[in-house]
Every structure is written in structure tokens, then in C-alpha cells.
């Protein structure tokens, strides 16, 4: 089991989270994966909820495709949460479900599943996401659902690899100034696509072959 849960999102979401100390679950109707959002709608109908909200994390370490799909380009961020601290807070919310997503091949759809599993099932092609999900059903017609979290559940923030290096310090300082409790928050710049150690490695290998 991964020690951390990671959320790929954008700067506006990060600023709201830091200012309010809340994570926000949203309506999944606009998700890119229509199979996934359909499962959530069917779950809502089966349970008699008026609205259903979800929030997705990944359990894997940094991946290029996660930045591309979820990282919102040059405004993308990755928030690393301490798993136990976050889930302890989540468990205080009555009616909120959470768990790992199970990835199924089409030939496995003949199996027996209960409606409660629908929010945690995805097609096998999404296996690389290694997703962990929060799901909440409400009898009210709400635009979103916030959960209070303790500040110490946030371990660090990583800024996307396409952010101009000249802007990094400015953005890092802006993040730390959202509230005094974040003044020492670890904020780093992803070097996934431009890494000095990788370049040094290439230099060493190329010279060895001369």
C-alpha cells in the first residue's frame, strides 16, 4: 500500500485548498471517460441520491501521462497527501466511501458486482492510473462537496515540468503566502522532462564510448 496519495490538478484548485483547508469533490458528469461517469450516474440512481461527487488520487509515483492528462499544462500541480492523515479525516464524513479502483477487462464484466462497486470500477486500459477515489452521495442538489482536512495531511507540492524556470520562485512564494501555516511547505519543480542528473549520465556514457 502506497504511503502517499497524489492529486494532479491546477493552481486555482491548490490555492482554494490551501486557503480553506478543504478538498473538493465535484460532479463527474464532465469526466473525459464516459464509461466512468456513466457508472457514477448509475450508482446515483441505484442508491437514490440526487447528486454524486467524486475526487480522484493516484497511488503511483510521477508519470508523464498523469501530467499530460490531469496536470492542466503550465498551471498544473501535483499535491502529495499523507495517506493515513487524509483518510482519517475522510472517515469522519458520514456517507463518504473511499477505496482503490479496480480495472476490468471486457471479458470480466460477466462477474457479479453490487451497485456499491460501480464508482470503483474502470476499464483495464486505465490501469496505469493506479487510482484511489473518494465518493459521496447527497440527497441535495449541490454544486460541489467540501471536506475539511488538517494541514499536516499535505506533505508537498510539485509544479509541472513545463513551467518556465524563471517563474518557479515566484509561483512557489505565492503558494507559501496563501496562509502563514504554509510558509515552510515543500514546493518543488518537476524535472521529469529536463533533469541535470540524466544529462550528466548521457555525457558520461557518450564520453566512455570515445
Tens digit of each residue's pLDDT (9 = 90 or more) over 17-64: 999 999 999 999 989 999 999 999 999 999 999 999 999 999 999 999
Distance (Å, whole) CA 198 – CA 202: 6
pLDDT of 209: 66
Q: How far lies 54's CA from each of 68, 185, 198, 204, in Å?
A: 21, 26, 37, 47
Residue 187 near residue 156, CB atoms below 8 Å = yes
- DSSP, residue by residue, 21-43: TEEEEE-GGG-S-HHHHHHHHHH
pLDDT in tens, 140-166: 999 999 999 999 999 999 999 999 999
**In this structure, is the dihedral angle defined by the CA atoms of residues 132, 41, 15 and 147, taken in order, positive or negative?**
negative
- Other CB atoms within 10 A of residue 141 CB: 7
Q: What are phi and psi of 166, to 5 degrees?
A: -70, -20
Give me the residues paired with residue 80 across strands: 6, 156
pLDDT of 72: 79
Counted domains in the chain:
1
**pTM (2 d.p.):** 0.94
Domain range spanning residue 121?
A: 4-208
pLDDT at 108 over 70: yes
Question: Residue written as cell 448509475?
Answer: 42
Buried b (16+ CB within 10 A) or exposed e, 184-197: ebebebbebeeeee
What does DSSP say about strands 186-189 and 154-159: parallel, antiparallel, or unpaired? parallel
Give me the residues paired with residue 39 across strands: none
Distance (Å, whole) CA 67 – CA 120: 22
pLDDT at 111 over 90: no
Q: Tell me the pLDDT band of 98, cut-offs 50, 70 and 90.
A: very high
The pLDDT of 190-207, averaged and rounded, is: 94
Residue 28 near residue 54, CB atoms below 8 Å = yes
Distance (Å, whole) CA 102 – CA 79: 23
Q: Tell me the pLDDT band of 2, cut-offs 50, 70 and 90.
A: confident
Amino acid at each position: 500500500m502506497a504511503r502517499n496519495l497524489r492529486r494532479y490538478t491546477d493552481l486555482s484548485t491548490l490555492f482554494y485548498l490551501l486557503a480553506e483547508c478543504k478538498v473538493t469533490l465535484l460532479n463527474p458528469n464532465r469526466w473525459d471517460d464516459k464509461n466512468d461517469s456513466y457508472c457514477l450516474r448509475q450508482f446515483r440512481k441505484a442508491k437514490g441520491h440526487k447528486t454524486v461527487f467524486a475526487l480522484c488520487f493516484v497511488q503511483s509515483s510521477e508519470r508523464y501521462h498523469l501530467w499530460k492528462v490531469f496536470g492542466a499544462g503550465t498551471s498544473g500541480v501535483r499535491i502529495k497527501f499523507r495517506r493515513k492523515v487524509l483518510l482519517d479525516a475522510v472517515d469522519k464524513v458520514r456517507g463518504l466511501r473511499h477505496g482503490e479502483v479496480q480495472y476490468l477487462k471486457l471479458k470480466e464484466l460477466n462477474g457479479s458486482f453490487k451497485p456499491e462497486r460501480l464508482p470503483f470500477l474502470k476499464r483495464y486500459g486505465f490501469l496505469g492510473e493506479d487510482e484511489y477515489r473518494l465518493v459521496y452521495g447527497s440527497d441535495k442538489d449541490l454544486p460541489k462537496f467540501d471536506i475539511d482536512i488538517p494541514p499536516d495531511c499535505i506533505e508537498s507540492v510539485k509544479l509541472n515540468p513545463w513551467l518556465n524556470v524563471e517563474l518557479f520562485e515566484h509561483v512557489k512564494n505565492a503558494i507559501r503566502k496563501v496562509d502563514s501555516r504554509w510558509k515552510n511547505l515543500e514546493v518543488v519543480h518537476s524535472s521529469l522532462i529536463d533533469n541535470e542528473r540524466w544529462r550528466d549520465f548521457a555525457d558520461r556514457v557518450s564520453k566512455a564510448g570515445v
